[in-house]
């Protein structure tokens, strides 16, 4: 993380787009001070402004920006410009443009369309990055390297295809082993030469998963190429790249191992409907994922919007209080940096109507500008939490991209609402745990599970023998392993396990056999009934219901409709000194919550009992714990705080005893919000700097 004594606050900043109007550049710094900004991401799409023709560099505008920031006590997250290629380069070297799945070379323009394998592009990126590192290595404004921008996507060009073949040779060693792993004899897909293997064939689901693994590895390799000259010349400056939550094609667990710190772009879309609290808990899921990538340490929001976006079907404004809560929510979950896209709205281009701190009007009287200033004021009060890792939760939830890829690539299981059944299952279980008042960490499938009391693995469709053994050992040693429908259907090559589901060899561990699966129509529901320690459960299952036979496990709930009525659907099994639990259907929300409330009570897990949509988070601080209380609802909620005294962030007024939480309310305990300016510690920077010769 960049070194600082307060929460860093700023935005993507594009001074190169305003060189025709120098007055704007001077005004920007003064406006940044008014919103209590500390930092800006600079140069993300500036390659042509830095190198207008091959080998010709024009750094004057960036020199002035860096000096202006240093003089005014601001720091820069200096971007490498690889996220968008110069037009001259794209036309001069066509090979750096991606080829789509239909074999067509993409035209110049757009963004995120470079070939990650191209040696020409890798060399060009390394050159410009070296020039940037040499020039600004000792500049006092340089706080962080921002690598590229939202790196993702696929390329099917001959370079990538050949690299894929080399990757497969390294993975499998022989065509015989590859054909066996992919079950290639089906539909006569047996390969007799490496050159026959395509980059895409949806009828070979093992190939689909391996292609995504390969492309993810290419992105990681590209990142490492980008960072090499920066780490050589500026080893003291951390490197990050802005992730995109649960983006389908990027296994960020692997990315996190090569980055110095974790940053994410998140755009929760405004929603004025009654269930807005569900979306807020979805954001908590993403924040917890970032905290997992960071190894439990603080992380960064590199992009969010203070208001609307421009790319949604409906670009709705955020209601008063929503954005302040979004920012506080991120900090409560471990964020030490909050940046926007964007600082100032551009006058043209695709994102000219995207939300920004400074509107086209350019003044300080707009609602959004005032709200951003309020956010900056509040963030200054939160300096005690900076740099301190959030406390570990008692429950870990596994999020595994490879299980997701395997499920997405398999014909048969019903697709999710958004085509992503796996993430849907993970979010629903996370949301139920949080609604039950239980804190949750997100971890990788190869994580160390021993620090946790409970490990939850929703829809872990692809499961290796090693992972199954590690999870079973965790339960045997005294832990509780909770799994759900679609667990252990295939191995890491997307081949079904023999011996019945769940595999591999988990029938004994869970004490049941999953004979078959009923995929329901969208409007179809199946009744589920059971009793958890006296808590009667009557709920519904939708989409997926497994036909299960108990083989030693205790039945906690059964199906009460359809031809398989009476069969178990929620089970518990003793395993060693611990236990396993299984939920064999996609339950309605109250069913999940009831189960996790029962489990928390049984295991005596620390938990809070709060109204639906009200969340309380604790983050450790230098002077003691800092507590956050949020009302994620768009309606008022009555709450009894007892002897606790919180401060309402919006007005600085104390709250105690029986109170009414306003819509999107945010409360704090453990810091003084009313005198935030006095609580902030100054950031010290030299006022002048001589640039190093390039």
List, by residue number, the catalytic residues.
150, 303
Residue 627 has phi, psi (to 5 degrees) of -110, 140
Rounded to an integer, what distance in angstroms lies between the CA atom of residue 9 and that of residue 379?
8
Question: Residues 260-283, buried b or exposed e (16+ Cβ, 10 A)?
Answer: ebbbbbbbbebbeeeebbbebbbb
193 burial class (0-12, 13-18, 19+ CB within 10 angstroms)? exposed
The two tokens of residue 359 are 């509107």
Q: Measuring CA to CA, which residue among 219, 220, 240 is closest to residue 230?
A: 240
Distance linking the first and last C-alpha atoms of the chain: 26
183: left (phi over 0), alpha (psi -120 to 50) or beta: left
Distance CA 253, CA 455 (A): 18
| Alpha-carbon dihedral sign for residues 124, 126, 132, 134 | negative
- The kind and range of the H/E element at 541 are strand 535-550
Give the pair of three-digit tokens for residue 300. 């960064």
Taking phi over 0 as left and psi of -120 to 50 as alpha, with beta for the rest, 562 belongs to left
Residue 301 CA to residue 331 CA, distance in Å, equals 9
Q: Rounded distance, CA 47 to CA 520, Å?
A: 51
Instruction: Dig out the tokens for 183 from the structure.
Output: 């079950």
Structure token digits, residue 174: 């022989």
| Torsion over CA: 61, 67, 70, 71 (sign) | negative
Listed in order, strand segments (DSSP E) in 323-413 are: 335-340, 395-398
Structure tokens at 23: 């007055």
């Amino acid at each position: 993380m960049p070194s600082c004594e307060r929460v860093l606050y700023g935005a993507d900043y594009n001074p190169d787009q305003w060189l025709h109007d120098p007055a704007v550049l001077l005004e920007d710094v003064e406006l940044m001070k008014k919103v209590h900004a500390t930092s800006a991401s600079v140069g993300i799409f500036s390659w042509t402004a830095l190198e207008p023709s091959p080998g010709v560099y024009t750094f004057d505008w960036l020199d002035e920006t860096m000096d202006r920031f240093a003089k005014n006590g601001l720091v820069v997250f200096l971007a490498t410009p690889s996220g968008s290629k110069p037009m001259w380069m794209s036309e001069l070297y066509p090979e750096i443009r991606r080829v789509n799945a239909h074999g067509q070379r993409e035209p110049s323009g757009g963004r995120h369309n470079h070939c990650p394998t191209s040696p020409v592009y890798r060399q060009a990126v390394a050159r410009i990055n070296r020039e940037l590192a040499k020039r600004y290595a000792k500049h006092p404004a340089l706080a962080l390297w921002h690598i590229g921008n939202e790196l993702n996507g696929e390329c099917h060009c001959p370079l990538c295809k050949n690299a894929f073949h080399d990757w497969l040779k390294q993975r499998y060693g022989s065509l015989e082993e590859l054909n066996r792993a992919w079950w290639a004899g089906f539909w006569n897909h047996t390969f007799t030469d490496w050159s026959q293997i395509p980059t895409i064939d949806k009828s070979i689901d093992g190939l689909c998963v391996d292609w995504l693994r390969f492309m993810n590895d290419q992105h990681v390799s590209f990142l490492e190429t980008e960072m090499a000259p920066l780490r050589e010349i500026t080893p003291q400056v951390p490197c990050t790249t802005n992730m995109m939550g649960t983006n389908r094609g990027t296994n960020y667990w692997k990315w996190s191992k090569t980055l110095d710190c974790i940053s994410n772009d998140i755009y929760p879309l405004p929603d004025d409907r009654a269930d807005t609290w569900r979306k807020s808990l979805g954001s908590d899921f993403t924040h917890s994922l970032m905290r997992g990538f960071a190894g439990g340490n603080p992380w960064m929001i590199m992009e969010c919007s203070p208001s609307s976006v421009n790319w949604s079907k409906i670009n709705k404004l955020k209601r008063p209080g929503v954005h302040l809560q979004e920012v506080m929510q991120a900090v409560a979950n471990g964020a030490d940096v909050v940046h926007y896209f964007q600082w100032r709205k551009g006058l043209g281009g695709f994102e000219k109507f995207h939300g920004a701190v400074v509107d086209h009007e350019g003044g300080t009287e707009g609602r959004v500008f005032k709200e951003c200033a309020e956010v900056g004021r509040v963030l200054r009060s939160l300096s005690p939490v900076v740099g301190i890792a959030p406390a570990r939760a008692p429950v870990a939830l596994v999020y595994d991209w490879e299980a997701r890829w395997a499920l997405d690539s398999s014909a048969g299981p019903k697709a999710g609402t958004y085509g992503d059944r796996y993430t849907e299952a993970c979010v629903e279980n996370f949301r139920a745990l949080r609604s039950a008042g239980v804190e949750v960490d997100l971890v990788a499938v190869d994580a160390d599970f021993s620090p946790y009391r409970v490990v939850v693995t929703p829809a872990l469709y692809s499961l290796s023998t090693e992972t199954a053994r590690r999870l079973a050992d965790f339960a045997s040693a005294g832990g509780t392993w909770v799994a759900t429908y679609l667990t252990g259907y295939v191995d890491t090559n997307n081949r079904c396990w023999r011996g019945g589901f769940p595999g591999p060899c988990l029938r004994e561990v869970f004490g049941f056999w999953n004979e078959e699966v009923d995929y329901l129509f969208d409007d179809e529901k199946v009744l589920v009934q059971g009793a958890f320690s006296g808590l009667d459960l009557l709920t519904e299952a939708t989409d997926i219901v497994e036909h299960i036979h108990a083989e030693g496990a205790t039945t906690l709930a059964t199906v009460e409709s359809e031809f398989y009525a009476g069969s178990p659907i929620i089970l518990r099994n003793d395993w060693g000194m611990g236990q396993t639990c299984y939920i064999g259907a996609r339950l309605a929300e109250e069913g999940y919550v009831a189960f996790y409330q029962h489990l928390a009570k049984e295991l005596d897990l620390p938990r809070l009992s709060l109204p639906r949509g009200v969340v309380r988070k604790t983050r450790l601080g230098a002077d003691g714990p800092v507590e956050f209380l949020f009302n994620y609802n768009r309606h008022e909620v009555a709450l009894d705080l007892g002897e606790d005294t919180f401060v309402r962030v919006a007005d600085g007024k104390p709250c105690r005893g029986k109170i009414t939480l306003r819509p999107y309310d945010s409360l704090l305990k453990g810091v003084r919000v009313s005198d935030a300016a006095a609580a902030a510690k100054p950031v010290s920077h030299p006022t002048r700097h001589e640039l190093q010769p390039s």
